[in-house]
Amino acid sequence: MQPITHFQSRTVVLPTKDIDTDQIIPARFLTTTTREGLGQALFHDLRFAADGSMIDDFVLNTPEADGCEILVAGKNLGCGSSREHAPWALLDYGFRAVISTEIADIFRNNSLKNGLIPIVVDAATHEFLLRNPGIKLDIDVRTATLTLPDGGIVQFPIDGFARYCLVEGIDQLGYLRQQMDEILKFEETRSWTP
Protein backbone atom coordinates (compact mmCIF):
# COMPACT_ATOMS: atom_id res chain seq x y z
CA MET A 1 0.00 0.00 0.00
CA GLN A 2 1.17 3.55 -0.77
CA PRO A 3 1.97 5.64 2.34
CA ILE A 4 -0.67 8.29 3.09
CA THR A 5 0.61 11.21 5.13
CA HIS A 6 -1.02 14.45 4.16
CA PHE A 7 -3.42 15.90 1.61
CA GLN A 8 -5.62 18.90 0.92
CA SER A 9 -8.94 19.02 -0.86
CA ARG A 10 -12.29 20.73 -0.99
CA THR A 11 -15.30 19.04 0.61
CA VAL A 12 -18.55 17.81 -0.82
CA VAL A 13 -21.44 17.60 1.66
CA LEU A 14 -24.12 14.93 1.88
CA PRO A 15 -25.92 15.85 5.11
CA THR A 16 -28.23 12.82 5.29
CA LYS A 17 -27.94 10.74 8.47
CA ASP A 18 -27.47 6.98 8.52
CA ILE A 19 -26.15 6.67 4.95
CA ASP A 20 -25.93 2.88 4.66
CA THR A 21 -23.55 0.89 2.51
CA ASP A 22 -26.47 -0.21 0.30
CA GLN A 23 -26.79 3.44 -0.73
CA ILE A 24 -23.03 3.83 -1.15
CA ILE A 25 -23.09 0.84 -3.52
CA PRO A 26 -26.30 -1.10 -4.22
CA ALA A 27 -26.11 -4.91 -3.91
CA ARG A 28 -26.65 -5.57 -7.61
CA PHE A 29 -23.15 -4.19 -8.26
CA LEU A 30 -21.57 -6.73 -5.91
CA THR A 31 -21.54 -9.59 -8.42
CA THR A 32 -18.04 -8.49 -9.44
CA THR A 33 -15.02 -10.65 -8.61
CA THR A 34 -12.50 -7.80 -8.68
CA ARG A 35 -12.28 -4.49 -6.81
CA GLU A 36 -11.59 -2.27 -9.80
CA GLY A 37 -13.98 0.19 -11.43
CA LEU A 38 -16.55 0.34 -8.63
CA GLY A 39 -16.56 4.15 -8.69
CA GLN A 40 -19.11 3.93 -11.48
CA ALA A 41 -21.55 2.33 -9.05
CA LEU A 42 -20.91 4.78 -6.18
CA PHE A 43 -24.21 6.20 -4.89
CA HIS A 44 -25.65 4.86 -8.11
CA ASP A 45 -29.34 5.17 -7.28
CA LEU A 46 -28.85 8.68 -5.91
CA ARG A 47 -26.84 9.77 -8.96
CA PHE A 48 -29.05 8.14 -11.59
CA ALA A 49 -32.82 7.75 -12.02
CA ALA A 50 -34.32 4.33 -12.71
CA ASP A 51 -34.26 5.11 -16.46
CA GLY A 52 -30.49 5.71 -16.28
CA SER A 53 -30.67 9.50 -16.65
CA MET A 54 -28.51 11.63 -14.39
CA ILE A 55 -30.19 13.29 -11.40
CA ASP A 56 -28.78 16.79 -11.91
CA ASP A 57 -29.40 18.18 -8.45
CA PHE A 58 -27.74 15.30 -6.57
CA VAL A 59 -24.67 16.91 -5.05
CA LEU A 60 -22.09 14.60 -6.66
CA ASN A 61 -23.52 15.50 -10.08
CA THR A 62 -23.06 19.25 -9.60
CA PRO A 63 -20.03 21.06 -11.04
CA GLU A 64 -19.00 22.16 -7.52
CA ALA A 65 -18.29 18.52 -6.62
CA ASP A 66 -15.63 18.15 -9.31
CA GLY A 67 -12.27 17.30 -7.80
CA CYS A 68 -13.55 17.11 -4.22
CA GLU A 69 -11.75 14.31 -2.38
CA ILE A 70 -13.40 14.72 1.03
CA LEU A 71 -16.97 13.62 1.70
CA VAL A 72 -18.74 15.18 4.69
CA ALA A 73 -21.81 13.15 5.65
CA GLY A 74 -24.52 13.04 8.31
CA LYS A 75 -24.05 10.97 11.43
CA ASN A 76 -23.67 7.18 11.41
CA LEU A 77 -22.10 6.99 7.97
CA GLY A 78 -21.61 3.52 6.51
CA CYS A 79 -24.09 1.57 8.62
CA GLY A 80 -25.47 -1.77 7.47
CA SER A 81 -23.77 -4.30 5.25
CA SER A 82 -20.09 -5.20 5.73
CA ARG A 83 -19.40 -4.90 1.98
CA GLU A 84 -15.86 -3.60 1.47
CA HIS A 85 -17.09 -2.57 -1.95
CA ALA A 86 -18.29 0.64 -0.22
CA PRO A 87 -14.82 2.06 0.55
CA TRP A 88 -13.53 0.58 -2.73
CA ALA A 89 -16.21 2.52 -4.63
CA LEU A 90 -15.51 5.76 -2.72
CA LEU A 91 -11.76 5.45 -3.39
CA ASP A 92 -12.23 4.55 -7.03
CA TYR A 93 -14.49 7.58 -7.48
CA GLY A 94 -11.72 9.77 -6.08
CA PHE A 95 -12.52 10.23 -2.38
CA ARG A 96 -9.65 10.04 0.10
CA ALA A 97 -11.46 10.85 3.36
CA VAL A 98 -14.95 10.75 4.85
CA ILE A 99 -16.05 12.94 7.75
CA SER A 100 -18.99 12.52 10.12
CA THR A 101 -19.84 12.70 13.81
CA GLU A 102 -20.12 8.93 13.85
CA ILE A 103 -18.91 6.21 11.48
CA ALA A 104 -20.17 2.61 11.61
CA ASP A 105 -17.66 0.03 12.92
CA ILE A 106 -17.23 -2.33 9.97
CA PHE A 107 -17.18 0.47 7.39
CA ARG A 108 -14.56 2.33 9.43
CA ASN A 109 -12.40 -0.80 9.66
CA ASN A 110 -12.74 -1.49 5.96
CA SER A 111 -11.89 2.12 5.12
CA LEU A 112 -8.71 2.12 7.21
CA LYS A 113 -7.52 -1.08 5.54
CA ASN A 114 -7.81 0.55 2.12
CA GLY A 115 -6.45 4.02 2.78
CA LEU A 116 -9.76 5.87 2.94
CA ILE A 117 -9.41 8.04 6.05
CA PRO A 118 -12.51 7.88 8.31
CA ILE A 119 -12.65 11.07 10.37
CA VAL A 120 -14.98 11.55 13.31
CA VAL A 121 -15.40 15.16 14.42
CA ASP A 122 -17.31 16.89 17.21
CA ALA A 123 -20.81 18.25 16.62
CA ALA A 124 -19.69 21.89 16.31
CA THR A 125 -17.04 21.14 13.70
CA HIS A 126 -19.51 18.90 11.86
CA GLU A 127 -22.14 21.62 11.83
CA PHE A 128 -19.57 24.08 10.45
CA LEU A 129 -18.57 21.63 7.70
CA LEU A 130 -22.22 20.92 6.80
CA ARG A 131 -22.94 24.63 6.49
CA ASN A 132 -19.86 25.39 4.41
CA PRO A 133 -19.65 22.91 1.55
CA GLY A 134 -16.68 23.22 -0.77
CA ILE A 135 -14.21 24.60 1.75
CA LYS A 136 -10.63 23.43 1.53
CA LEU A 137 -9.41 21.20 4.32
CA ASP A 138 -5.92 20.04 5.11
CA ILE A 139 -5.78 16.50 6.49
CA ASP A 140 -2.61 15.29 8.16
CA VAL A 141 -2.72 11.59 9.03
CA ARG A 142 0.65 11.77 10.82
CA THR A 143 -0.70 14.16 13.45
CA ALA A 144 -4.36 13.07 13.11
CA THR A 145 -5.38 16.66 12.50
CA LEU A 146 -7.74 18.49 10.25
CA THR A 147 -6.95 22.14 9.48
CA LEU A 148 -9.84 24.47 8.63
CA PRO A 149 -9.47 27.40 6.17
CA ASP A 150 -9.18 29.87 9.08
CA GLY A 151 -6.24 27.91 10.46
CA GLY A 152 -8.25 26.24 13.21
CA ILE A 153 -6.95 22.76 13.97
CA VAL A 154 -9.22 19.85 14.88
CA GLN A 155 -7.75 16.65 16.30
CA PHE A 156 -9.49 13.45 15.20
CA PRO A 157 -9.34 9.99 16.78
CA ILE A 158 -7.63 7.26 14.82
CA ASP A 159 -6.30 3.94 16.07
CA GLY A 160 -2.53 4.31 16.53
CA PHE A 161 -1.72 1.07 14.76
CA ALA A 162 -3.97 1.86 11.80
CA ARG A 163 -2.35 5.29 11.52
CA TYR A 164 1.14 3.80 11.65
CA CYS A 165 0.21 1.38 8.85
CA LEU A 166 -1.27 4.18 6.73
CA VAL A 167 1.65 6.56 7.19
CA GLU A 168 4.29 3.89 6.59
CA GLY A 169 2.36 2.14 3.84
CA ILE A 170 2.40 -1.14 5.79
CA ASP A 171 0.15 -4.01 4.85
CA GLN A 172 -1.59 -5.32 7.99
CA LEU A 173 -1.49 -8.87 6.66
CA GLY A 174 2.30 -8.67 6.61
CA TYR A 175 2.28 -7.67 10.29
CA LEU A 176 -0.17 -10.45 11.15
CA ARG A 177 1.95 -13.05 9.38
CA GLN A 178 4.95 -11.97 11.46
CA GLN A 179 2.98 -13.25 14.48
CA MET A 180 2.94 -16.80 13.09
CA ASP A 181 5.12 -18.27 15.85
CA GLU A 182 2.64 -17.01 18.45
CA ILE A 183 -0.28 -18.31 16.39
CA LEU A 184 1.28 -21.78 16.16
CA LYS A 185 2.00 -21.77 19.88
CA PHE A 186 -1.61 -20.79 20.60
CA GLU A 187 -2.89 -23.65 18.47
CA GLU A 188 -0.61 -26.15 20.20
CA THR A 189 -1.31 -25.09 23.76
CA ARG A 190 -4.98 -24.13 23.88
CA SER A 191 -7.16 -26.17 26.22
CA TRP A 192 -9.67 -27.21 23.53
CA THR A 193 -9.73 -27.36 19.76
CA PRO A 194 -12.55 -26.16 17.54
Task: Answer yes or no whether residue 17 interacts with other proteins by CB under 8 A.
Answer: yes
The C-alpha R_g of the chain, in whole angstroms, comes to: 18
Query: Which residue type sits at 133?
Result: P
CB of 163 to other proteins, least distance (A): 10
Task: Answer yes or no whether residue 20 interacts with other proteins by CB under 8 A.
Answer: yes
Task: Answer yes or no whether residue 151 interacts with other proteins by CB under 8 A.
Answer: no
- CB-count exposure of residue 128 (10 Å: 0-12, 13-18, 19+): middle
Q: Characterize the bridge pairing of strands 97-100 and 117-120.
A: parallel
CB of 47 to other proteins, least distance (A): 12
Q: Which of 26, 93, 140, 143 binds other proteins (CB under 8 A)?
A: 26
Helices (H), 94-171: 105-114, 123-131, 160-168
Long-range contacts, stretch 57-60, CB < 8 angstroms, 24+ apart = 59/12, 59/13, 59/14, 59/133, 60/12, 60/14
Name beta bridge partners: 117.
97
Q: Which of 56, 57, 150, 182 binds other proteins (CB under 8 A)?
A: 182
Alpha carbon distance 60, 14 (integer Å): 9
Alpha carbon distance 25, 192 (integer Å): 41
Name beta bridge partners: 138.
8, 147
CB of 149 to other proteins, least distance (A): 25
CB of 87 to other proteins, least distance (A): 8
Contact code string over 34-73 relative to other proteins, x by CB under 8 A: xx---------x----x-----------------------
Alpha carbon distance 104, 109 (integer Å): 9
CB of 27 to other proteins, least distance (A): 4
Q: Which of 59, 65, 70, 84 binds other proteins (CB under 8 A)?
A: 84
State the residues that interact with other proteins by CB under 8 A.
15-18, 20, 22-23, 26-28, 30-35, 45, 50, 74-76, 79-84, 102, 104-106, 109-110, 113-114, 159-161, 164, 172-173, 175-177, 179-180, 182-183, 186-187, 190, 192, 194
